[in-house]
Each structure stands twice: as C-alpha cells, then as structure tokens.
C-alpha cells in the first residue's frame, strides 16, 4: 500500500511562496516529493485512486476516478505526475489511458477549477512524431496541453528517475534498476541531459519554475531540471 508523504524536512530547500494547488499522482516518485515540499498554509489537494492518509493539515486527499473526474477544488496551480509503463499497465491501450487520457482529463478539470499554472512530468525523448509508441504518446499529450486554456505550462522531461519505489508499494522495474546500477557510478561523465535524476530534484525544479514562468509553454530537459532543482 502506498505510504503518505513524509513530513517536510526541517531543512526545507529555499522555495518561492506556494499557491493553492492540485496534485495528481501523489503516490509516485515525483508526486511524493512534491507533497513533501508542501508545509502550507496554502492547501494542496491530492487526487488519488484510493484512500491515502496525509500528515500535514494543508494537504487533503480526494479519491477520484480519472476516467470520470468530478468538479475539483478551486486552486491556482496544478501538478500532474501521472504515469506508468507498458509493462506495468499490461498493454499499449492501458498505458495510453494513463499517460495520455488521464493527464488530459485532469488538465481539463484543473482549468475548470480555476487553475492558471500547470506543470506536468513527461519524459526524455517525448515527440508526437516519434515511431516509438512510448515517446509518441508522451509527445501527443504535450501537444494537446496548450489548447486546454492554461496561462502557463511547464513540461518536465526528466531522464531516468531515481528514488525509492519500494516504499511506495510499486512493483520493481528491473530495466530501470539495472540502468541505475550501471549509470550511477558513471554519472559525472554522463551529460546532465542524460544522467539519472532524483525525483526530489524534479519536484523542486517544478515548483521554482511554475512560480516564475512567463505565460506560454516552457519545456525543461533533464539538464535544466538538474540546475533548477539543485
């Protein structure tokens, strides 16, 4: 069973003032780290598929069906950290239902709830014209976001995400574990855009960028995420 976000660290990183926000994907690597950065007083609404205890008075969990979202609480910001793999989902159709359909459904519901600033975790290599199904699905999701109605969109394209999946109750991803084992010792020689990146680094980068981003769409590759989230 997924665990609730950990209490915020006493050594909280220097972050801009937080706004009221919606968070989809709070039980994933980046979503958990975003919740850990949120001590309030502005509320953070966690949209989850099943009950999730919260450890901070500013955080409120809402059990929802992403295929039929109800009206969402009013908020200024929204973070979308929804995502799976084809292996875990079981088929390309099931993967697309999460990484494309659910993301866009959340985005539309967020606009209806008053959200003006939207951040989404995509993936390295996302391209709507790619021959690779995974990259094409991510790219098509990105391409659809500007037409939904946000003032500001921040798209994160991290490389291989590093973090403790076991504590989230997520199944092991053997390919990911092997890649991390091989690349971590060599990280200093791998370009920042390709080296593994900690989920907490991505979370900090998203908050900082969303607070200061100009209107329009900003795409952050893994190198930019490393710098912003340091």
Buried b (16+ CB within 10 A) or exposed e, 176-215: eeeebeebeeeeeeeeebebbbbbbbbbbbbbbbbbebee
Residue closest to 15 by CA, chosen among 212, 165, 184, 179: 212
Hey, what domains does the chain have and what are their CATH numbers?
21-228 (3.40.50.720)
Query: In this predicted model, what pLDDT tens digit does every residue of 209-228 receive, in sequence order?
Result: 999 888 999 999 999 999 99
Query: In this predicted model, what pLDDT tens digit does every residue of 191-206 receive, in sequence order?
Result: 665 578 889 999 999 9
Q: Please tell me the distance from the alpha carbon of residue 119 to that of residue 77, in angstroms, as a whole number.
A: 8
Q: Which residues pair with 162 in a beta bridge?
A: 198
pTM (2 d.p.):
0.84
pLDDT band at 48 (very low <50, low <70, confident <90, very high): very high
Query: In this predicted model, what pLDDT tens digit does every residue of 122-146 receive, in sequence order?
Result: 999 999 999 999 999 999 999 999 9
pLDDT (0 to 100) of residue 213: 83
Q: Are strands 77-80 and 59-63 parallel, antiparallel or unpaired?
A: unpaired
Q: Which residues pair with 219 in a beta bridge?
A: 155
Query: In this predicted model, what pLDDT tens digit does every residue of 2-17 receive, in sequence order?
Result: 444 444 333 456 788 8
Whether the per-residue pLDDT at 175 is higher than 80: the answer is: no
Residue closest to 117 by CA, chosen among 148, 138, 144: 148
pLDDT (0 to 100) of residue 9: 39
pLDDT (0 to 100) of residue 16: 82
């Amino acid at each position: 069973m997924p665990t609730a976000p950990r209490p915020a660290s006493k050594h909280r990183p220097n972050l801009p003032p937080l706004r009221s926000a919606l968070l989809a994907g709070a039980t994933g690597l980046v979503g958990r780290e975003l919740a850990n950065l949120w001590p309030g007083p502005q509320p953070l609404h966690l949209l989850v598929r099943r009950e999730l205890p919260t450890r901070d008075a500013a955080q409120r969990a809402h059990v929802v069906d992403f295929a039929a979202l109800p009206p969402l609480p009013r908020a200024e910001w929204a973070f979308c950290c929804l995502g799976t793999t084809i292996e875990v989902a079981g088929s390309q159709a099931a993967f697309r239902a999460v990484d494309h359909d659910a993301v866009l459904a959340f985005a539309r519901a967020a606009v209806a709830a008053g959200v003006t600033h939207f951040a989404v975790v995509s993936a390295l290599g996302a391209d709507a014209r790619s021959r690779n199904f995974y990259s094409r699905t991510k790219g098509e999701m990105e391409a659809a976001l500007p037409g939904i109605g946000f003032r500001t969109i921040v798209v994160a394209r991290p490389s291989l995400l590093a973090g403790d999946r076991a504590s989230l109750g997520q199944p092991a991803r053997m390919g990911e574990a092997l890649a991390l084992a091989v690349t971590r010792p060599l990280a200093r020689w791998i370009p920042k855009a390709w080296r593994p990146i900690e989920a907490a680094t991505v979370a900090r980068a998203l908050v900082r960028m969303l607070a200061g981003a100009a209107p329009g769409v900003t795409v952050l590759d893994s190198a930019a995420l490393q710098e912003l989230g340091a």
